[in-house]
């Protein structure tokens, strides 16, 4: 465990602010205000703003991997584990209503900016995609496991976008229930 308190604080604050305000719209002043350091101090820890973004994406990758590993423990069946994925919409309901999906909004923004780290951000999607694919394979759907993974990713993504636009919590609950129904009706029974 390295002692990098300030660096970690910067990454944590930048992570939140990039999510809430967008990457480009977040200035060094915003981050330094949040971390309570001077703007100059940044450059001891990072060379450029892009480097902070890379650190944020890397931190999100780690957090996501840990969450997926936890879901492996939480759900005893593939269905149960996929339900864990569907339910993040409810777990993070309030944040999603205000700021949308952290993965979708970042990849969308970086795509418009044609940013060098675009693909790194997309890897966050791939993490979920591959994990979901594995679960569908375990359900005996190896032929279309990736299609089902993409389908579910897209459904969640659309729900987050619309729920955020209309600030509609009920819509999230409704669609989550529908996705769970879809999962149980569409999949072979054990």
Q: Could you list the residues that contact DNA (CB under 7 A)?
A: 3-6, 26-30, 36-45, 47-50
Q: Cβ of residue 110: shortest distance to a copy of itself, in angstroms?
A: 10
Chain residues 19-58 in contact with a copy of itself, contact rule CB under 8 A: 20-22, 24-25
Q: Cβ of residue 108: shortest distance to a copy of itself, in angstroms?
A: 6
Rounded to a whole number of angstroms, the CA Rg of the chain reads 18
DSSP conformational letter for 20: H
The answer to whether 135 contacts a copy of itself (rule: CB under 8 A) is no
Contact track, a copy of itself, 92-131, x by CB under 8 A: -------xx---xx-xxx-xxxx-------x--x------
Contact track, a copy of itself, 137-176, x by CB under 8 A: ----------x--xx-xxxxxxx-xx-xxx-x--x--xx-
- Choose the one of DNA, a copy of itself, none that binds residue 50, judging by a C-beta under 5 to 8 angstroms depending on kind: DNA
Alpha-carbon distance of 74 to 80, in angstroms, equals 8
- Choose the one of DNA, a copy of itself, none that binds residue 29, judging by a C-beta under 5 to 8 angstroms depending on kind: DNA
Alpha-carbon distance of 121 to 115, in angstroms, equals 10
DSSP per-residue letters across 78-132: HHHHHHHHHHHHHHTHHHHHHH--HHHHHHHHHHHHT-TTHHHHHHHHHHHHHHH
- Choose the one of DNA, a copy of itself, none that binds residue 74, judging by a C-beta under 5 to 8 angstroms depending on kind: none
The residues, any chain, with a CB within 8 Å of residue 65's CB and separated by 6 or more, are: 127
- Choose the one of a copy of itself, DNA, none that binds residue 95, judging by a C-beta under 5 to 8 angstroms depending on kind: none
Alpha-carbon distance of 30 to 21, in angstroms, equals 10
């Amino acid at each position: 465990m390295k002692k990098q308190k300030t660096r970690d604080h910067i990454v944590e604050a930048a992570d939140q602010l990039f999510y809430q305000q967008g990457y480009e719209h977040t200035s060094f002043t915003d981050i330094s205000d949040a971390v309570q350091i001077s703007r100059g101090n940044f450059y001891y820890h990072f060379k450029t703003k892009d480097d902070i973004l890379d650190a944020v994406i890397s931190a999100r990758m780690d957090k996501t991997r840990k969450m997926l590993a936890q879901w492996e423990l939480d759900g005893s069946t593939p269905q149960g584990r996929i339900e864990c994925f569907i339910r993040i919409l409810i777990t993070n309901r309030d944040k999603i209503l205000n700021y949308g999906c952290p993965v979708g909004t970042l990849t969308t923004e970086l795509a418009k900016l044609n940013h060098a780290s675009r693909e790194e951000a997309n890897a966050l999607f791939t993490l979920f995609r591959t994990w979901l694919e594995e679960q569908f394979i375990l359900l005996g759907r190896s032929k279309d496991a990736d299609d089902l993974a993409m389908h579910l990713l897209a459904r969640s993504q659309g729900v987050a976008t619309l729920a955020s636009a209309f600030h509609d919590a009920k819509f999230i609950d409704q669609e989550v229930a529908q996705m769970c129904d879809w999962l149980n009706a569409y999949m072979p029974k054990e």
